[in-house]
Structure 1
């Protein structure tokens, strides 16, 4: 397992809390997978568990909202109609 060169903070997905991982510490594999910055590790390389997690995270961000094998298209976004600000009609008439 790899050792941290810098202190980092990660969000624990099980407890939904921020966790501090101190420099010189060998974090649990599930927390080590959350540290994706190679500069945080002593040898400058991500541990194999962290590489796999980062790769899976980037793949899921490429196709949000779609599961594997799904041919469904994402729903189109509907924009709100623009209406003029209040009192603009009277300003256009020029009456004072």
Structure 2
């Protein structure tokens, strides 16, 4: 048989982004718990400064990504967010 091997940038057809999230002080744990259950959330990070949580988001299309953004922004306890799409990956 044959095996097809694609370059990583060809395999990766997902839209990826990092969303920084601010939450009500006493609801950060609740926000994290809710986001853990969302299949579009690939990873979560604690952070310092203005934001409480950084979420790596993934979606198969812009329409799906738009729905992810809406879902996260409606999460109880989320007060504000900012999202940056990942466009290109640079080799080190």
Say which structure, 1 or 2, has more relative contact order (CA 8 Å, 6+ apart).
Answer: 2
Q: Which has the larger radius of gyration?
A: 1
Q: Fold match, TM over 0.5?
A: no
TM-score range, shorter chain: under 0.3
* TM-score of the superposed pair, with normalisation by structure 1: 0.23
* TM-score of the superposed pair, with normalisation by structure 2: 0.23
Greater strand content: 2
